[in-house]
Amino acid sequence: MHSLDGTYLLWLLTVPGTIVTGAPSPDPSSAIPLNHVGALLLALAVILVAAKVGGHLAEGLRQPAVLGELLAGVLLGNCGVSWLHSLGADPAVDLFAQVGVVLLLFEVGLESKVVDVLKVGGRAFLVAVLGVVTPWILGWGLGALLLPDRSVYVHAFLGATLTATSVGITARVLKDLGRAQTREARIILGAAVIDDVLGLVVLAAVAIVIKAADLGSSASLGETGLVILKAVAFMVGALTLGVLLTPYLFRASARLRGSGVLLSTSLTFCFLLACLASSIGLAPIVGAYAAGLVLEEPHYVGFQGRERSLPDLVSPVSSFLVPVFFVLMGVRVDLSAVLNPAAAWLALLLGVVAILGKQACALGGLGGGLDALSIGIGMIPRGEVGLIFASIGLSLTVHGERVVDPVTYSAVVLMVMITTLVTPPALKWSLARRRRARGEAAA
C-alpha cells in the first residue's frame, strides 16, 4: 500500500485512467513531487470536498449529513484509485480524524446538560439500561452464531458496537418534526445521553479484557470491575469537579486580552480531560464527552458581549475535523468484502438485531401515558458512536488477530447506515400515529 509521501502521488491518481483508456502509464519520475505536508493537504482537500458534497446530497434526500459523508468515503475508498484507498491507513490523516472524533463527543456533550439528564430521572435511566444490555446480549449471541470460529472477544465486542445511540441524529429528527419538547423527546434524549455513557463504560471494560488477552493473561472479574468503577468514578468526578471549578477557570481566562480566548480555554479543558481519561485506560472520547457536558453557558458568562457562544465557536473547528473522521470510516469499508455473501448476511442481521434490541427501550416507556413505541424507535440510530466503537475495534488484536476484521468492520458500518436510514421515517410515522390517535380520542 502506498503512503501519501513521495513523488508517486499524482502518478497514482492517473492510474485508473490509463487502465480504462489503454494509454501507457506515465513515468513516476515525471510526476509533480509532493512532500508529506503537501500530500496531506491535498488529502484533506479531497476529503472535505467529498464530505460536503455527500452531506449536501444526503440532506437533499432528507437524511442526516453523516450518511452522505460515510457514503462519500466508501466511494473514495473503492473507486479504484490506489492513493485514495491508501488514505484509510495513513497515520497523518488518521490523527486528524482522531482529533475530530474528540471534538465530536465534546460537541455532543455541549448539546446536553447535567441537569437535563437528572430531570428525566429513573425512567430515562431504565430506558438507557435496557437499550444497552439487550443489544449487547443479542449482538454477542449473533456473533457466536454467525462467527463460531472467531474468539469470544470478537463476539463481545460485536455486541458492544450495538449498544450506543446517536444523540445527534435523534435530536435532529425530533427538532425537524417540532417534537423536541415533548415528554417522550426528553426521555429519549436523556436516555440517549445516559446510553452513551453506559456504552462508553462497556467499551472500556471490553477493551481492557481484550488487551489483557492479547498480552497472554486474563482480566479477572476484579480487574474488569475496576475498569467499570474507574469509568464511573471518572465521569462522576469530572462532572462534579468540573461544575465546581470551571466557573473559576473561565472567570480567570476572561481577564486575558485578545480574541479566541473562550474557544482556546474550552478546547484546553476538553483536551486535558480527554488526556486524563486516556492516562487511566479509558478512551479519550469519555473525557471529551464529560468536558462538553460540564461546560454550560453560566460558566463563561464573563465572555458575553465579547465573543459568540461556545457552541458557535466550536462549530467551525468541528465542521472541518469531524467530517474527516466520517469520510475516513467510509474509506475503510471494503466493498469487495461487503459483496461477500457472508458479510452481507452479517450486515443485514446486525441491522435487524440493532433495531430489535433497542425496542426493549419501549418497556421503559410503558405507563404514564407515554408513547412507548416512539421511545423505542427514537433509540435506534447508532450513528457516530457506533462508528467510533468499530474504529477502536480495528486497533485491538488478540494474538495477532484483529478483533474487528475488514469484513466485520464493513458489516458494522452498513448496520450504522441501516439504523440511520430507518429512524427518521419510522419516528415520523410513529409520532404522527400518536397524534392521530389523540385527535380521534378527543373527537
Sorted by where each starts, the structural domains of the chain and their CATH numbers stand as 1-89 (no CATH), 91-442 (1.20.1530.20)
The confidence score (pLDDT) of residue 24 equals 42
The confidence score (pLDDT) of residue 29 equals 42
pTM beyond cutoff 0.75: no
Cell numbers at 12, concatenated: 497514482
Give per-residue pLDDT as tens, 123-173: 888 888 898 899 999 999 999 998 888 888 888 888 888 888 776 667 666
The confidence score (pLDDT) of residue 47 equals 93
Cell numbers at 232, concatenated: 464511573
Give per-residue pLDDT as tens, 183-226: 777 788 778 767 777 777 777 777 777 877 777 766 556 666 77
The confidence score (pLDDT) of residue 7 equals 41
What is the DSSP track for 385-435? HHHHHHHHHHH-EETTEESS-HHHHHHHHHHHHHHHHHHHHHHHHHHHHHH
190 vs 259, higher pLDDT: 259
- Sequence-distant (≥ 6) Cβ neighbours of residue 273 within 8 angstroms: 238, 242, 287, 288, 290, 291
Above pLDDT 90, what percent of the chain?
Answer: 9
Cβ 255 vs Cβ 202: under 8 Å: no
The confidence score (pLDDT) of residue 10 equals 41
**Biggest alpha carbon–alpha carbon distance for the chain:** 79
Confidence band of 6 (pLDDT split at 50, 70, 90)? very low
DSSP state of 26: P
The confidence score (pLDDT) of residue 23 equals 37
DSSP state of 24: P
Judge whether residue 71 has pLDDT over 60: yes
The confidence score (pLDDT) of residue 278 equals 81
